[in-house]
Amino acid sequence: MAGVSGLWAVYRMRLKRRRLLFRSIRSRHQLTSVINRTGDIQPGQVLAFVVLRNEMQRLPHFLSHYRALGVDHFLMVANACTDDGAAFLADQPDVSLWSTDASYKASRFGVDWLTWLQFRYGHGHWCLTVDVDEILIYPCHDKRDIKSLTRQLETIGAQALGALMLDLYPKGPLDTGQAEANPIDALPWFDEGPFRAVRQAPMQNLWLQGGARERVFFPDNPTRGPTLNKLPLVKWSRRYAYTNSTHSILPPRLNLEWGGPPVVSGTDQLSGVLLHTKFLPDVIERSEEEKHRQQHFGQSDQFDAYYDAIGDAPDLWHPHAVRFEGWQQLVALGLLSAGGWS
């Protein structure tokens, strides 16, 4: 019976993956090309895929950071933007841009749109999928570009890089900080733990939780806290599909590419960290807007208290907060691993 149930689980996952691919292909009709420079993409280049809305404040640093890492081309979807971000991106020579006013929530929070673009343009490339408020770092990222990283991943037989999403925050109420060209300068603090992780059937995806947002916003119900594991960098195939942001992916074997940071898994496995810069001063206004838009959670009304708590501009800092100093520090804390890469 175990063998039969196992085969049935495999079949169900295959059907689910095909359904996700089919709906992503249909979603292409929701996208309008603003500027398409994908003809410039060359074999072996690293591509970044991004959905954004009103992120002009972060875009200059975001592009500068990922260009410095060696990302070759950005494929971006501007969803219901009302700021100058889309015009700014259209002028960037390494950006292809699409726009849509369709529902972010109904598109599986933008995943359908990006899956179509990955299906169309990402096959055979290392593809990085991030939000504009996520800054990827990895061991020696200040000396080794992302192509060095992908070569190492290929050397060890890995098809994906796992990463902990680490929330950064200021010292003081959220509405008293100052915007900086580099958001990390405005948000220099983080929680070093505690974190916990379990595997979930049937996709074998990791579920990593803990950290600052859980401590502040979900102390009485930690299972409602954010999922902090991501697989943002994948050697893409048009047969792949993310299922829940970049937290999980199909086929299921890809979810086994990472077991979590060393502090949780006890293993030394090459990984990254996504520095999460959500808590810039504009988070108060954005949270109020998103509470009314109801586009960011599957059952959005259940998170009204979360938006209200952010609107109260709490101070996330506490006496055990750690000031961010660099990737070496995160290795020492067991939040990041070089996996023997030296």
pTM: 0.95
Check residue 295 and give its pLDDT: 53
In terms of phi and psi (left: phi > 0; alpha: psi -120 to 50; beta: otherwise), the region of 211 is left
The mean pLDDT of 74-83, rounded to a whole number, is: 97
Q: Which two structure tokens, joined as six digits, stand for 182?
A: 């580099």
The mean pLDDT of 4-12, rounded to a whole number, is: 80
Report residue 296's pLDDT band, with 50, 70 and 90 as the boundaries. Answer: low
Residue 193 has pLDDT above 90, yes or no: yes
Terminal C-alpha separation, the chain = 47
Check residue 6 and give its pLDDT: 75
Check residue 1 and give its pLDDT: 44
> What is the Cα–Cα distance from 27 to 37, expressed in whole angstroms?
20
The mean pLDDT of 271-282, rounded to a whole number, is: 95
Burial readout 95-133 (b: 16 or more C-beta within 10 A, e: otherwise): bbbbbbebebeebbbbbbbbbbbbbebbeebbbbbbbbb
| Alpha helices, H only, 110-182 | 111-117, 146-155
206-229 pLDDT per residue, tens: 999 999 999 999 999 999 999 999
Give the closest residue to 211 by CA, choosing from 166, 174, 263, 277: 166
